[in-house]
Amino acid sequence: MIDHPHANPRRNTSLKRFAALMLAATLAFAVPALAADKDAKAAAKPAAAAATPADDKIDINRAKADQLMTLEGIGDARAKAIIKGRPYKGKDELVEKNIVPQAVYDKIKDKIIAKQK
């Protein structure tokens, strides 16, 4: 900074302190917010990147009614219909056999599997 002949040295020091204080306050609020945003994105990536693993999928050929009812759009009546319609060669047979509507199947297809014996 160039010294001006009419500049008040005390005022310059006060301005510098004020600027430093404002910078510190800005960083104090910005850094935790950025870190929290980064943590939230990192936590969301594994869930989005990894579709339901085969071990976590519900086997429509062996699941009990209460397990089937954890699926969106599957209530007591549809769970009983799924059990009654066994065995299934493929999960798409739920729609082919008119056990669940296409819209429901589209919501659950990534969460189910039709394992063979």
100, two tokens = 């669940």
Strand partners, 112: 58
The confidence score (pLDDT) of residue 17 equals 84
pTM, rounded to two decimals? 0.55
pLDDT in tens, 19-46: 877 777 776 666 666 566 555 555 554 5
| Nearest alpha-carbon partner for 9 in 23, 24, 1, 22 | 1
pLDDT in tens, 102-116: 999 999 999 999 999
pLDDT in tens, 55-92: 799 999 999 999 999 999 999 999 999 999 999 999 99
Strand partners, 113: 59
Angle made by CA atoms 81, 84, 86, in degrees to the nearest 5: 115
